Amino acid sequence: DVKVTQSSRYLVKRTGEKVFLECVQDMDHENMFWYRQDPGLGLRLIYFSYDVKMKEKGDIPEGYSVSREKKERFSLILESASTNQTSMYLCASSTIGTGNTEAFFGQGTRLTVV
């Protein structure tokens, strides 16, 4: 059974703090993704990675960075948290190729920046 685990379910941070969101998958998937989900805006891709140490910007990378030092782990970093980064953050992983390359999601991290 595929499992994607995010380090925290709920997180409260102060403005200006550096925030780390961790994600681990156990299916040896090549691709990993970070999304944020806001009411009325849907799931928006922040960054994704298709291999260790490789990363690509998604649609809204500003204010975020990522790290993938090991295949199973993909970290999202908020360099200096701001209130407009209050959101639900979802990590996902998928395999590559044709056919069913579905994204498997973690349980989500609800981040509040005060």
- Chain residues that interact with other proteins, rule: CB under 8 A: 31, 33, 35, 40-45, 48, 50, 56, 58-59, 90, 92, 94, 98-103, 105-108
Q: How far is CA 16 from the centre of its chain?
A: 20
Question: How far, CA to CA in Å, does 61 sit from each of 12, 88, 95, 96, 100?
Answer: 21, 15, 22, 22, 27
Q: Which is nearer to other proteins, 80 or 107 (CB)?
A: 107
- Minimum gap (Å) between residue 56 Cβ and other proteins: 7
- Minimum gap (Å) between residue 78 Cβ and other proteins: 20
- Minimum gap (Å) between residue 63 Cβ and other proteins: 19
- Minimum gap (Å) between residue 96 Cβ and other proteins: 9
Q: Which is nearer to other proteins, 28 or 40 (CB)?
A: 40
Q: Which is nearer to other proteins, 18 or 27 (CB)?
A: 27
- Residue pair 62/46 in contact (Cβ under 8 Å)? The answer is no
Helix (H, G, I), strand (E, B) or coil at 85: helix
Q: Which is nearer to other proteins, 17 or 51 (CB)?
A: 51
Alpha-carbon distance of 6 to 2, in angstroms, equals 13
